[in-house]
Each structure stands twice: as C-alpha cells, then as structure tokens.
Structure 1
Amino acid sequence: MLPYFRSVAIVGKYMDDSALQNMRDDLTHLVQYLQSQELHVCVEEQTARFIRHEGFELASLENIGHKADLVVVMGGDGTMLSVARALRDSNVCLIGINRGRLGFLTDLQTDNMLGELEKILQGEYQLESRMLLQSAVSRAQSQLWQSVAMNDVVIKSAFRLIELEVHVDGKFVSRQRADGLILATPTGTTAYGLSAGGPIMHPDLHAISIVPISPHTLSYRPITVPADSVIEVIIVNAADAQISFDGQGQHALSEGDHIRIARGEQEIQLLHPKTYCYFDMLRNKLNWG
C-alpha cells in the first residue's frame, strides 16, 4: 500500500543563505499551499528563516524525518544527498524540487511544483529505494572514522599518482597506480563515475561500480560487482591521498590505511511523479538525441 501523507516537511538548501534568499518566494508559496491542504507542515530551522509565513513547526535536520511522512527538498543534487544521508534512519520519503544544475535526483521544477505536488498528495506517484554505501577507514588496526554515501566514495590524490590495492570479498583484484578510485552506487554512476568513464547503472540494480580515475595502465577498466560484496582498498603509496563521501567532506589518508566499503544497512526512499521515467531523465539531462 502506498504511504498516505499527513505531515510534510520542507528543507531548502540549508547550508547556503544566498541560495535560500533566492528561493524565498518559492518556499513561502510551498508552505502556504501545504497548509491549505490541511497538512501538518514542518520546516527545517535554517530554511525557516527565509519563509514569509507562519503557522508551521520548526525542527532540526536531524529530527525532521521523524516528524513527517514526506520531506520536500528544494535545492540541487548536493542538497538532496546531504538530506538523504542525514535522514537515513527515519526511512521517510523524499522528493526534490530542482534549484540546482542538472538535478538527477530532484524531479520537480518550481514553475509547476504545486500542480505536481497536488497529484502526489492524491497518491499519483512512484516510490523507489536507493542503496547506500557504508565505509570505514582503519589505520594500524584502529578505526579512524566511518561514513555513508548515497552517490560514491572517492579516493584520490590532488597532484600525483597514488598506488592502491583492491580486494573484493577477500580476493585480490588488482594493484594499480592512478589518480584515484571511485566506488559508486547505481545512483552515483551518473555523477563522478560517469565523468571518469564508468558505466551508467539503472537504480533498480543492486551493484557497486569500481571506477579508476586516470589509471596509469590503460587496460585497467571499470568493474561492477554485486551489492553484497565487501570491497577493501589499501593505500600502498600516496603522499596526499584523500577520501570523500558524496564529495561532501574530505579526510586525509596515509600509506597503509585500509578502507572497507560495503552496502549500507539503510536505504533511501525517493518519491517520483507518476509520469517519471528513468530513461527520459537520462535523455534530458545528458542531452541524448
């Protein structure tokens, strides 16, 4: 049975005041419309500072997923990624209004967002689960940190080649010199992995793409493994290597560091309009003929 929405939360591009200022009118119209539908409306506290209206509940990003049945994210793919990671434990449905550039994850446009939301609130939508990656970095057998990613985990050097060793499920795959390595979910294969020559994977697939960045040996090509694989990357030789998660937060790596990447326990619930088609989206965003 499809979820029924009684409470809707709104999150804008909460880390960017200038972006929130530019979307002030759209955010205000969105709140007014949802309240006119007799829905409980909750707004992320940073976003709320730019709304010219009253009568809604305030909540932190960490808590907002537990107060709503649906979270509407206004921004670009970066905003959607950060909100999805923050709300992953709540299992709340997310839908995006595109105020960014390409917008692979944000389906609605501001010029028709209220009409599309009306259909969605009446049950005319598609629900889709997207997998996450769980990563842990260890040094000298002590875990330094762990994080999740919806798009990709990227290991790279800014200025020189690094040497990496890759293992899948305890089996040695390769030792390579390259600018870095991308480990991408199907969602992330239209991001950095695509620019590096990796495959596009349909989001219904359960798989992880391993994509080298400018490998020194040109025969080293991307490889896709099952989603339940455990991937281990060992930093063999690197002077300035870093790891990032969805491109949002970097950490320095050292020689001998071990990075473990596996499928995350949670999944992200994305909501699309009833007319959404993944191939139409690719064709429009990537300018295919």
Structure 2
Amino acid sequence: MRLLIRRTGITRPHSVQARRSTWIRLLSTEILHAELLPDRQSPHYVQESTSLSSLVWDKPLENVLIVKKPWDHNVRESLIQMASHIQRRYPRVNILVEEHVADEVQKQIGAAGVTAIHTGPGEVLRNKTDLLVTLGGDGTILHATSMFASGEVPPVLSFSLGTLGFLLPFDFKDFKTAFDMVYSSQASVVNRARLACQKMSIRKEITHLPSQSHIEHNSTHVYGNPDDYNLSPLTYAMNDINIHRGAEPHLTKLDIHVDGEFITRAIADGVTIATPTGSTAYSLSSGGSIVHPRVACILLTPICPRSLSFRPLIFPATSKICITASSESRGRGAELSVDGIAKGLVRPSDKILVESETGHNSGIWCVAKTDRDWVSGLNGLLGFNSSFGKGGEASGDVA
C-alpha cells in the first residue's frame, strides 16, 4: 500500500493514450496518510430524557473512521457505497480506514467515485477520529472500540451487517438518514459504561504489608505494594473482563475482594466481570443476569464453579474489585482477556484490579434509534421468554 502526502493533478489528455491513462487514474483512489488531517474534536452531549442525550458538534465533524467486518464481500460493498455517498454529499468530510482495509478496498473504491481515503497506524487514527462508524456485528463494535481502549472513544454509529446485532439499532439501508442526523447534530445517543482494568504482575515475593496500587481502593492491605509489582497500563472494556483457566486442565483458584472486603475464593474455570452492556454476552452464557444499560452496576459471574452455591453477583458501579490468582493454584495460572482480546497470563499472586471508568465523557456514546432499542434487542435477538412452539412468541399469555 502506498501512502501519498498530497493529491496529484490530472493533466489534460492530448492523445488516445493520454485519455486512457486519465480514465484509469479517475478510477483509482489515492491512499493518503491520516497524519495530514486535523486533530480530532469531541462533541458535547445534552440530556434530553432519562435515557437519551443529544449529540451536538461545536463545529462540523471532519474525520470519520469506518471500521468493517474483515474480508466480507457484502460489507466491503457497503463501505464503498457509504464512502461514496459521504464524499459526494459532504465533501469536507474525510474518510479514514484501517491499513488492512485500505489494502482491501483500494482497487474497487475508485470506481464508485471516491478520490481519496486516509489511513495510518492505530495511534494516528485514534488522534484524528471525530466519529466512529462500524459495519458488521457486535464483534465489529468491540474491535472498533478496543482501538480506543486506552482513552476516550468517539461517538459510535453502528450498522447491522453481521451475524449478531444486539448493539446495532440501524439497518444499513438507513445509513444516509442516520449519518445526516449525526452530522447535523440531530442524533440521540445512549451512554454505555466501561470498566477500567489494570494487571499487577508480581515480581518478587511479598514479605511486608502491602500498600495502595495505582487504581484507588478503600482498603490498602489487600492490594499490594507497587514496588512488588509491574503495573500494566490501564485498559478499558465495553463488554467484559475474563479470567479463565484456558488450556490448563485444573480449575483455577481466584481470591475475590470487593471494596477491601473478602468475598470468596472462586474455584472454577474462571470469572467474568461485565458491564450492563456485556451482561448479554459471556456473563449471560455463564448464568448471569440480563441488565439494562442504564443500571449503574458491575456484574461478577463465575464460569463453571465447583460449588453450586457460588451464584452470580451484581455490585454497585462504585465498587472496586480485586481478583488475586491464588498461590495455591495449580499450573501456570489463568488467562486474562478484555473484550475478547488476550492480555496474557495471570500468574499465581498476580492481581487484576477493576472499577468503573470515571471522568469527563466516560463510557461510550452510541447513536440510538429510540429509547426502546434495548427492549427490541431483548425480544427480537435473544428471543426473551420465547416458547418452544411455532413462531417463538413470548410466553406468559393468560390461558
């Protein structure tokens, strides 16, 4: 893939060969480096009801990052269609894509009239993106938001083109209307909470009373002295944080503290710590509750526990959770993943610290269709309380 610094001009043809060359160039798309673009701007949000807010741009948005489901023909065609419309209808808006997507579409996108797209490394895209658009399923959203796992996420406009769409209120056929609403500051958004996660990797045996870690906690004796640990950078989860035994044949042992108080030692395949958004993912498969995204809480769900009395728990969103891999665990330890992305091993005596993300514009602002999007997904996608009979209608009818 070739990154250009500026657009080149097209000379006036003086021969058949020159006209053919010009026609070929008109069908090609220049791949420009996103570093040339203005830095990202953040909109502000005005509460319009108990569940929704309005997205308002202080100046017109300029940079739109489109993230697509990889190597899918239908999704690729949809990206080309959307990019063509945006460049024609909003000529001042720049289209950004990941580097591998630029390689995938550059031979076809020019035929749709797209003259230029921008790309670059992940760090550059993060610093330039005003609006994040996803084309695919829920997995595509998680991949897109994980690109911003170390900082603030731009507002997210998602279109259903995948196999599962619980987070996808818009059909792609409505992309023109949906994008115009966002561009003109007429869109409604819902805020979805994120969890902040930090791993403390033991580097020497603790022989003294530990003190407080980087993430603030209420009780210092549980969490360890930073001098005894390597502290990983903070990372954020939209769905869940999973600690799982992975390929190890033995159950893992995890000591769980919440707000400095010992809760239990989990002897299980692992545990998942989820947001309300993630309550319909791995946590649900493990027997956890379904939680509305406006409920401020953190879910802690055991994965195949040895004890049948270890049931899923829901804590206030202000809770500070510390999970320590017990030194009595057999094997190398457990595997840590954040929104499906592997983050390495949790070795015996390592700690995982989890709390709700806080601060200005915390969480992820997702463009919503109505305040009933969640209920529609609950009934339409999960088939909540559906009967086994033909048609799968909800149970509960009065006989």
| TM-score, normalising length: structure 2 | 0.66
Q: Which residue of 2 aligns with 1:36?
A: 88
Q: 1:238 touches 1:254 (CA, 8 Å); kept in 2?
A: no
Q: Are the equivalent residues in 2 in contact too, given 1:31–1:41 (CA < 8 A)?
A: no
3-state SS, counterpart of residue 68 of structure 2: coil
**1:90–1:257 CA distance, 2 compared to 1 (3 A):** closer
Cα distance, 1:31 vs structure 2: 0.8
**Whole-angstrom CA distance in 1 between matches of 2:172 and 2:95:** 19
| More displaced stretch, 144-153 vs 2-11 | 2-11
Structure 1 residues 68, 234: closer, same or farther in 2, change over 3 A?
closer
Per the alignment, residue 296 of structure 2 pairs with 206
Of 183, 196, 201 in structure 2, the residue corresponding to residue 139 of structure 1 is 201
Looking at structure 1, the residues matched to 301 and 266 of structure 2 have their Cα atoms a distance apart, in angstroms, of 12
- The Cα of 1:282 is off from its aligned counterpart by 1.3
Structure 1 SS opposite 2:308: coil
- Which segment drifts farther, 94-103 or 60-69? 60-69
Q: Give 1:227's aligned amino acid.
A: A
Of 302, 316, 319, 1:229 maps to 319
CA shift in 2, pair 1:152/1:35, >3 Å: same
Displacement, 1:246?
A: 0.8
Letter in 2 for 1:26: S
Superposed CA offset, 1:53-105 (max 9, x none) = 33344133433354343221112222211221323634421111222211222
The worse-fitting range, judged by mean Cα deviation, of 203-212 and 33-42 is 33-42
Question: Which sections of structure 1, spanning at least 5 residues, go unmatched?
Answer: none
The CA distance in 1 between the partners of 2:364 and 2:171, in whole Å, is 21
Question: What is the number of residues matched between the two proteins?
Answer: 286
Written as runs of structure 1 = structure 2, the 5 A alignment for 1:174-189 is 174-189=264-279
CA distance in 2 between counterparts of 1:212 and 1:202 reads: 20
Alignment-mate amino acid for residue 237 of structure 2: A
Letter of the structure 1 residue corresponding to residue 61 of structure 2 = R
Deviates more, 1:278-287 or 1:37-46: 37-46
Give me the whole-angstrom Cα distance separating, in 1, the residues matched to 2:283 and 2:169: 21
* Among 119, 122, 125, the residue aligned to 1:59: 119
In terms of mean alpha carbon deviation, does 108-117 or 170-179 score higher? 108-117
Q: What is aligned with 1:26? A: 78
Higher strand share: 1
Q: Counterpart in 1 of 2:380?
A: 284
1:80-229 alignment to 2 at 5 Å?
A: 80-87=141-148, 89-140=151-202, 141-146=228-233, 147-158=235-246, 159-229=249-319
Aligned-residue offset at 1:182: 0.5
- Counterpart contact for 1:124–1:273, Cα < 8 Å: no
1:284 Cα deviation (Å)?
0.9
| Cα offset, 1:276, TM superposition | 5.0
Matched position secondary structure for 1:182? strand
Out of 349, 373, 378, the position equivalent to 1:256 is: 349
Question: What amino acid sits opposite 1:284 in the alignment?
Answer: G
What percentage of aligned pairs have identical amino acids?
28
Q: Cα 1:214–1:91, aligned 2, differ >3 Å: closer, same or farther?
A: closer
Report the Cα distance in structure 1 between the residues aligned to 2:124 and 2:168, rounded to whole angstroms: 22
- Matched residue SS, 2:141: helix
Deviation of the 1:209 alpha carbon: 0.2
Query: More deviation in 127-136 or 57-66?
Result: 57-66
Instruction: For structure 2, list consecutive stretches of 5 or more residues without a partner in the other structure.
Output: 1-45, 47-54, 203-227, 385-393, 395-399
Q: Cα RMSD over matched residues?
A: 2.3
CA positional deviation for 1:124: 4.5
Indicate how the Cα distance of structure 1 residues 272 and 149 shifts in structure 2: closer, same or farther if over 3 A, else same.
Answer: same
Q: What SS does the aligned partner of 1:179 have?
A: strand
- Deviation larger for 55-64 or 69-78: 55-64
Separation (CA, whole Å) in 1 of partners of 2:381 and 2:155:
23
Which structure is higher in RCO with an 8 Å CA cutoff and minimum separation 6?
A: 1
- Structure showing greater radius of gyration is 2
Q: Which residue of 2 aligns with 1:268?
A: 364
The code of the aligned residue for 2:340 comes to G
Distance 2:63 2:354 in 1: 33
Q: Aligned pair in 2 of structure 1 residues 125, 40: CA closer, same or farther (>3 Å)?
A: same
TM-score after normalising by structure 1:
0.89
How is 1:3-14 mapped onto 2 (pairs within 5 angstroms)? 3-4=56-57, 5-13=60-68
**Pairing partner for 1:246 from 339, 347, 361:** 339
**What is the 5 A alignment of 1:61-76?**
61-76=122-137
